[in-house]
Amino acid sequence: MMLNHINHPMLIYKDCTLGEIIIVSTTSLIILTFIFSICTKLLFGYVWPGYLIASALFFFVTKLMLSKLQKLKYGKPYGYYRHLLIKKLSEKGLIRSRYLTRFGRWSVRRLLS
């Protein structure tokens, strides 16, 4: 009998997998760089101070976002939000789901004849 934990990605930091950490850190770096470089370009006429400010705040913002993600994932099974995202995107027709899905209401009543 194989353990169920073997089939799931290993949690690395604050109950987040490596893929989630990469996604969170990449998005925070892109957003910080974009916002601060535009602000410093408008205020001072240079873009590089924005890159420096973004790189200085990168670690702290990433740590804050990972702690929020940890609280969001608390008590949910493995892959819950991934499954929810795939389900919503397939409902909108943006992707095709690899999984069998059922749309509608479930009924637990039996018809008695």
How far apart are the C-alpha atoms of 95 and 104, rounded to whole Å?
19
Task: Give me the domain span that covers residue 63.
Answer: 15-74
Distance CA 11, CA 15 (A): 5
Q: How many structural domains compose the chain?
A: 1
3-state SS track over 5-21: HHHCCCEEECCEEHHHH
Residue 100 lies in a domain: no
- For the cut 90, the answer to whether the pLDDT of residue 96 exceeds it is no
pLDDT score of 84: 81
Q: Does residue 8 form part of some domain?
A: no
CA distance linking residue 41 with residue 27, whole number of Å: 21
What does pTM read for this prediction?
0.65
| Domain-embedded: residue 67 | yes
Is 63 inside any structural domain?
yes
More confident residue, 45 or 19: 45
Mapping DSSP to helix (H, G, I), strand (E, B) and coil, where does residue 84 land? helix
**Is residue 35 included in any domain, yes or no?**
yes
Residue 61 within a domain: yes
Give pLDDT, residue 1.
45
Is there a domain that residue 85 lies in? no
Note the pLDDT tens digit of each residue in 8-37.
Answer: 666 667 777 788 888 889 999 999 999 999
Higher pLDDT, 79 or 74: 74
Is 1 within a domain? no
Contact between 54 and 33 (Cβ < 8 Å) = yes
pLDDT in tens, 50-78: 999 999 999 999 999 988 888 888 887 77
The pLDDT score that the predictor gives to residue 102 is: 65
Q: pLDDT at residue 41 above 90?
A: yes
pLDDT of residue 10: 65
pLDDT at 90: 84
